[in-house]
Chain A
Amino acid sequence: MNLLRVRVRRPGRLAAEASALLIAVVVAFPLYWMVLSAFKPAGEIESSEPRPWTLAPSPDSFRRVFGQQEFGRYFLNSLVVACCVVIASALIAFLAATAVTRFRFRLRTTLLIMFLVAQMVPVEALTIPLFFLMRDFGQLNTLGSLILPHIAFSLPFAIWMLRGFVKAVPEALEEAAYLDGASRARFLWQILFPLVLPGLVATSVFSFISAWNDFLFAKSFIISDTSQSTLPMALLVFYKPDDPDWGGVMAASTVMTIPVLVFFVLVQRRLVSGLGGAVKD
């Protein structure tokens, strides 16, 4: 029970609840407008008197989006990139977080500080050297050129966040496991891994977003083979600054946002408790 809540008198609480609902409406409005506009027929979108509803929902914009060459392919590419980044960085970060929390070795503190500093690196500034690196290894125009950097960039934050979760698992549990004859690997994957799973979910949200959002690398590294491109590029096909196809832009935006929304709603509880667990540490 939160005391702050109990102490508020009734009229005060009603005012607070009314403003919470109002703010929720304001915050959700851009998304509502996006979905609404995606379903509006062409004539209604380009109306100088926009209405907050539509009487004739039409799938035209979606048809145009999916009719665009390779839109489905872009969608799949984005999904592949995001999933590879999430899985790889979760596994690598889990191992690294275990190493820095459950072992004492030379350079441990140095490594931790380095992981912290690595979080601050402006990855956008690395686009230039990464471009040459990818070119030298023949990775330009491949999904690998999008996956690999994002694994590296989400790792430091993931390790830092997971540290709190690994730390929270009692040492006694580890000793008990060894006394029962479990090997280190067995303890790692069958006991520790499931216990820090909530933390992995929370960190996955961050790596998923960073990969799914990627705009700069897709723009810089996928230059000639557009079949390797991702959703943001597909969206920008409809967004021409001087004459945007708003219906197409909103439909593509909707398609691009829905998977993330679903992911968020699924992990919502875990995310809130995960952030609580990570920052409490």
Chain B
Amino acid sequence: MAGRSAFVSGGWTPWLYLAPALVVLGGLLVYPIYQLGLISFFQYTQAQVSGGEPTSFEGFANYAELFGDPQFWQVLLATVLFAAACVVSTLAVGCALAVLLTRVRAVPRLALMLAAMGAWATPAVTGSTVWLFLFDPDFGPVNRMLGLGDHSWTYGRLSAFFLVLLEVVWCSFPFVMVTVYAGIRAVPAEVLEAASLDGASQWRIWRSVLAPILRPILVVVTIQSIIWDFKVFTQIYVMTGGGGIAGQNLVLNVYAYQQAFASSQYSLGSAIGVVMLLILLAVTLVYLRLLRRQGEEL
């Protein structure tokens, strides 16, 4: 850890180094967030975009409309449950396989590592189409293997969500696996040796020695997974054809997109965006508190 004395004050130099980052982030992140909030308070539809009608301030009208719409609550609930299921499955698979990696010799380890890299490297769009093809009722191998006949996975609400979940876990467990594996490898062997000399069982070593050391890593991968899975767009959009039959598989992101770009309800779409932003901000605050409790120096 860098000591206080190690820092140079440097006058304007740090700001010179920071300037490009601040310009880019200010223009393409902070300003759009401000705009998003602004649009959500205005009446903004196709008429205003094309300049046919003036924009009018609506206050919380868009939010009132949104919160009064039962579909919004249904989508919100689906988003939270779907993201939670994705996060839990991804973490469980990723951690289990990370432990498995520490217990095998080089060849199986390399095989699993390369397979995981392949899944990780697969772009979301291609991953989505490939998994659709695997589960295709007419030509896919999965139904054949499971003897399901021409069962359609995307027809039912839950089975469509389940199929998307499988794809999401497939392409996101590698990040968790590799990170946790790197974390376990960084634990000094002497620590584990001492624990086992003291007669600790495998489980005990895990619980009392490894878990505390790995906690910062677990916090990082959990938070990243929450953020990624809460924002899943491509997979839902491609695999369920824009949100499923009658919108049964909509999540907030896709819902906002449909409202804004398909129905030209830009202000409603923006209001949904603001809701998402607030939810993820809350997650961030929890994260910051966890970091502070661990006493990490920023």
Determine how close the nearest CB of chain A comes to the CB of B170; give it in whole angstroms: 7
Residue in B7, B141, B182 whose beta carbon sits within 8 Å of that of A104 in the complex: B7
Report yes or no: A31 in contact with B21, Cβ–Cβ below 8 A.
Answer: no
Q: Least Cβ distance of B290 to chain A in Å?
A: 12
Q: Does A152 contact B (CB under 8 A)?
A: yes
Mask: chain B, 105-117; 1 = CB below 8 Å from A; 0 = not: 1001101111111
**Which stretch, A55-63, A65-73, A95-103, A193-201, touches the partner chain B?**
A95-103
Quick one: closest B residue to A263, CB to CB? B121
Query: Contact between A95 and B18 (Cβ–Cβ < 8 Å)?
Result: yes
Query: In the complex the two chains form, is B24's CB within 8 Å of A152's CB?
Result: yes
Give the docked Cα–Cα distance between A271 and B136 (Å): 34
A42 to B29, CA, bound (A): 46
Q: Considering the chains assembled together, what is the distance between the CA atoms of A265 and B237 in angstroms? A: 29
Segment 32-67 of A: residues with Cβ below 8 Å from B = 33-34, 37, 45-50, 52
In the complex, whether B104 has a CB less than 8 A from a CB of chain A is: yes
Complex formed: what's the CA distance from A96 to B24 in Å?
12
Q: Is B63 an interface residue (CB 8 A)?
A: no
Q: Which residues of B contact A176 (CB under 8 A)?
A: none
Q: Which residues of A contact B9 (CB under 8 A)?
A: 103-105
In the bound complex, how far is the Cα of B289 from the Cα of A113, in angstroms?
A: 12
Q: What are the residues of chain B within 8 A of A111 when measuring CB–CB?
A: 18
A residues 1-46 touching B (CB-CB < 8 Å): 1-5, 7-8, 12-13, 16-17, 19-21, 23-25, 27-31, 33-34, 37, 45-46
B28 within 8 A of A: yes
Residues in B with CB closer than 8 Å to A92 are 20-21, 24
- Return B80 CB to nearest CB of chain A, in Å: 14
Output the nearest chain A residue to B282 by Cβ-Cβ distance: A120
Interface members, chain B 88-141 (any A CB < 8 Å) = 97, 99-105, 108-109, 111-127, 129-131, 133-134, 136, 138-141
Query: Could you tell me if A130 and B114 are in contact, using CB atoms closer than 8 angstroms?
Result: no
Residues of chain B lying within 8 A (CB to CB) of residue A31: 118-119, 122, 130
- Residue B261 lies at the interface, judged by CB distance under 8 Å to chain A: yes
Are A109 and B184 in contact, CB atoms less than 8 angstroms apart?
Answer: no
A253: interface (CB < 8 Å): yes
Pick the contact of A276: B35, B127, B186, B234 (CB < 8 A): B186
Tell whether A222 is near chain B: CB-to-CB under 8 Å.
Answer: no
Using Cβ atoms and an 8 Å threshold, which residues of chain A touch B181?
Answer: 272
* A138 in contact (CB, < 8 A): no
A189 within 8 A of B: no
Say yes or no: B6 contacts A171, CB within 8 Å.
yes
Interface residue ranges, B against A (CB under 8 Å): 2, 4, 6-10, 13-15, 17-18, 20-21, 24-25, 27-29, 31-33, 35-36, 39, 97, 99-105, 108-109, 111-127, 129-131, 133-134, 136, 138-141, 144, 170, 178-179, 181-186, 189, 192-193, 196, 202, 205, 216-217, 220, 227, 230-231, 233-234, 237-238, 241, 253, 256-257, 260-261, 266, 269-270, 272-274, 276-277, 280-281, 283-284, 287-288, 298
User: Which 10 pairs show the lowest CB-CB distances between chains A and B?
Assistant: A125-B273, A276-B182, A104-B7, A129-B35, A152-B28, A253-B126, A99-B17, A103-B14, A96-B21, A129-B32
21 pairs across A/B with beta carbons < 8 Å? Answer: A4-B102, A4-B202, A20-B101, A21-B112, A27-B170, A30-B134, A34-B126, A92-B24, A96-B18, A103-B8, A127-B260, A129-B35, A133-B35, A152-B29, A155-B24, A167-B2, A215-B237, A264-B117, A268-B113, A272-B178, A276-B183
Given contact pairs A128-B266, A253-B126, a sample of 19 additional A-B residue pairs in the complex whose CB atoms are under 8 Å apart = A13-B105, A16-B100, A23-B100, A24-B112, A27-B119, A99-B15, A103-B8, A103-B13, A118-B29, A121-B29, A122-B227, A122-B231, A127-B260, A213-B234, A215-B238, A249-B129, A263-B121, A275-B178, A280-B186
